[in-house]
Amino acid sequence: MAVTSNPLVETLLAEGRREPGRVAVLWGDDAWTFGSLEALSARLAHALVDGWGVAVGDRVAVRLPTRPEVLALNVACARLGALYVPLNPAYTDPEVRGLLDDAAPTVLVGEGPRGHQVPVVGLDELLERSRTHPDRFEDRARDEESPAAILFTSGTTGRPKGAVLTQGNLVFGCTTLNRAWGIGRDDVLVHPLPLFHVHGLFVAAYCALAAGATIRLLPSFEVGAVLDALAEGTVMMGVPTHYTRLLADVRLTAESVRGVRLFVSGSAPMRAATHEAFTARTGHRILERYGTTETGMITSNPLDGERRVGTVGPALPGVEVRIAGTPPGRVEVRGPNVLAGYWNRPDQPARGPDGFFDTGDLGRLDADGYLEIVGRAKDLVITGGLNVYPKEVEQALDALVGVEESAVVGLADPDFGEVVVAVVVPGPGAELSADGVRAALREVLAPYKVPKRVVLAGALARNAMGKVEKARLRRALEDGTDLLG
């Protein structure tokens, strides 16, 4: 493919370059124009080169809470041709060390883990360093196949894998979604999502930047702040938990969201009851879509047309979806959205011989091509839109003094979609408490991975081959019946 100057930078900055005085980000009482965002990205790019020699192909890890400067830092990495590696700031030091060992970044922006050799710089220090640098930067030449980001996702063993996303993946994603959802320069996006996640960064923020729209960026999801933002917004992207919490507040009315034209939900399945309640309260039908870390968005219910509750819509233009095996079967996808591969995992190809990627989800397609996700082939738990792999939690549990073995499952929850629940078998003579186990886990796991409920049991249900029967455990937890094997 012929090299262009930098497809990702051109996509993200083109609209803003046409009118640099337009407001790109609203943050509290501050308004960031597209021009000021681009100028800061240039200064940050210079600072990264000057301070740490960041070059094309290097990794820049970012462990920061939401701030507008994070968007400028992401653009700076694209301009450098460096791979952006976002890390959840809630991760504990042990979790971060493993990811840094794998990605081997040139520098970490944010809070570094104690005892790791990676060079670390705080965001405020980096901003201070950038002040003396020029507002212009010559973007490094890249093409659509050039890697642009590494996002860590759980593998089948629980060891995180780095999904390598290319410039082409990211450009295809935001431009396709903008056409599908009609996002344009007049939109104001209410953005309560984290910026270390595909949904918050590569879907919500990228769509708005590429369209020349304005982002009302919020530090986190807080019902009152979101409702205030919706009074001036036209689009909101969130997870099912956000919508259940909005519904719990009497201030959510049709009048309070009268200027909003589109509500989008993803990252976890939405219950039919939530759809129905939201429509009854506001008159809006939430648009549900589906994607993965490795592929970005795959399907979407239509902007104009039937949004079928219980489905995530048909494949996006340019994307192929198929069901492997007798439905419900494994959902497989092929297209310009599919990752290039896994970082440092040459033994784990991302695509099959025919180019299809196995999502690990189970689903079925109806006659009109609408996809219904019916379960996950893997035991992934999605809680509040964030992925938790049970094996990782089980490993942390089994390492605790007094724990003989454990099993972790996800149970349906009206607020979070799913919650993490652990069944723990104490060792002989051990005295454990549910609260004590949860407190110990908080020392080694991010808060959202810590089980909301810990059940102490004498044994785990197993089949004749000795394998833990998680389906049986899940039923017992739901029914309140005997957990003994």
Q: Where in the chain is the domain with CATH 3.40.50.12780?
A: 7-374
Report the distance separating Cα 65 and Cα 78, nearest Å.
Answer: 20
Q: 9-13, 220-224, 370-374 — which is least confidently predicted? A: 370-374
CA-atom Rg of the chain in angstroms: 23
- Does the pLDDT of residue 485 top 90, yes or no? no
Residue in 335, 385, 361 with CA at minimum distance from that of residue 166: 335
CB hemisphere CA count around 342 (13 angstroms):
18
Report the distance separating Cα 96 and Cα 154, nearest Å.
Answer: 14
Give the tens place of pLDDT for each residue, 72-110. Answer: 999 999 999 999 999 999 899 999 999 999 999 999 999
Report the distance separating Cα 294 and Cα 281, nearest Å.
Answer: 35
- Does the pLDDT of residue 242 top 60, yes or no? yes
Burial of 471 (0-12, 13-18, 19+ CB in 10 A): exposed
Distance from the Cα of residue 141 to its chain's centroid? 28
222-231, 323-332, 391-400, range with greatest mean pLDDT: 222-231
Give the tens place of pLDDT for each residue, 326-367. Answer: 888 899 999 999 999 999 999 999 999 999 999 998 889 999
**What does the pLDDT average to over 358-380?**
87
Burial code (b: 16+ CB inside 10 Å, e: under 16) for 158-180 equals eebbbbbbbbbbbbbbbebbbeb
pLDDT of residue 405: 87
Question: Two tokens at 275?
Answer: 């759809």
Residues sharing a CB contact under 8 Å with residue 305, sequence separation 6 or more, in sequence order = none
Mean of the per-residue pLDDT values for the chain? 93
pLDDT of residue 482: 55
pLDDT of residue 2: 43
- Does the pLDDT of residue 475 top 50, yes or no? yes
Report the distance separating Cα 445 and Cα 430, nearest Å.
Answer: 23
Q: Pick the residue with more confidence: 1 or 300?
A: 300
**How large is the angle between the packed helices 34-52 and 123-130, nearest 10 degrees?**
100
Report the distance separating Cα 309 and Cα 272, nearest Å.
Answer: 6
Main-chain dihedrals φ then ψ at residue 184, nearest 5 degrees: -140, -175
Residue in 78, 237, 93, 95 with CA at minimum distance from that of residue 152: 95
Report the distance separating Cα 287 and Cα 434, nearest Å.
Answer: 39
**What does the pLDDT average to over 201-226?**
98
Report the distance separating Cα 160 and Cα 163, nearest Å.
Answer: 9
pLDDT of residue 78: 98
Beta pairing class for 30-33 and 120-121: unpaired
Report the distance separating Cα 138 and Cα 42, nearest Å.
Answer: 8
**How large is the angle between the packed helices 240-247 and 223-230, nearest 10 degrees?**
90
DSSP 462: B
pLDDT of residue 465: 40
**What does the pLDDT average to over 362-374?**
93
* pLDDT band at residue 1 under the 50/70/90 scheme: very low
Q: Using an 8 Å Cβ cutoff, are 193 and 70 in contact?
A: no
Q: Would you tell me which CATH number, out of the four given (3.30.300.30, 2.40.30.170, 3.10.580.10, 3.40.50.300), belongs to the domain 381-479?
A: 3.30.300.30
Q: Distance of CA 206 to CAs 10, 36, 144, 289, 336, Å?
A: 12, 17, 16, 16, 17
Question: Two tokens at 188?
Answer: 């104001």
- Does the pLDDT of residue 483 top 70, yes or no? no
Q: Using an 8 Å Cβ cutoff, are 85 and 149 in contact?
A: yes
3-state secondary structure of 479: helix
- Does the pLDDT of residue 186 top 90, yes or no? yes
Report the distance separating Cα 473 and Cα 459, nearest Å.
Answer: 11
* pLDDT band at residue 3 under the 50/70/90 scheme: very low
3-state secondary structure of 273: helix
Task: Kindly state which CATH superfamily the domain 7-374 is placed in.
Answer: ANL, N-terminal domain (3.40.50.12780)
DSSP characters for 313-362?
A: -SBPTT-EEEEESSSSEEEEEESTTS-SEEET-TTS-SS-TTS-EEEEEE
Distance from the Cα of residue 325 to its chain's centroid? 28
**What does the pLDDT average to over 459-464?**
73
Residue in 420, 416, 318 with CA at minimum distance from that of residue 379: 420
Residue with tokens 């937890």: 477
Give the tens place of pLDDT for each residue, 306-322. Answer: 999 999 999 999 999 99
Give the tens place of pLDDT for each residue, 121-157. Answer: 999 999 999 999 999 999 999 999 999 999 998 543 4
- Does the pLDDT of residue 370 top 80, yes or no? yes
Single-letter amino acid code for the residue at 164: V
pLDDT of residue 45: 98
Q: Pick the residue with more confidence: 219 or 160?
A: 219
Q: Using an 8 Å Cβ cutoff, are 37 and 71 in contact?
A: yes
Report the distance separating Cα 358 and Cα 346, nearest Å.
Answer: 17
* pLDDT band at residue 214 under the 50/70/90 scheme: very high
H runs (alpha helix) in 390-469: 390-398, 434-441
* pLDDT band at residue 375 under the 50/70/90 scheme: low
**What does the pLDDT average to over 234-243?**
95
Question: Two tokens at 205?
Answer: 């923020």
Report the distance separating Cα 228 and Cα 26, nearest Å.
Answer: 13
Q: 180-184, 298-302, 423-427 — which is least confidently predicted? A: 423-427
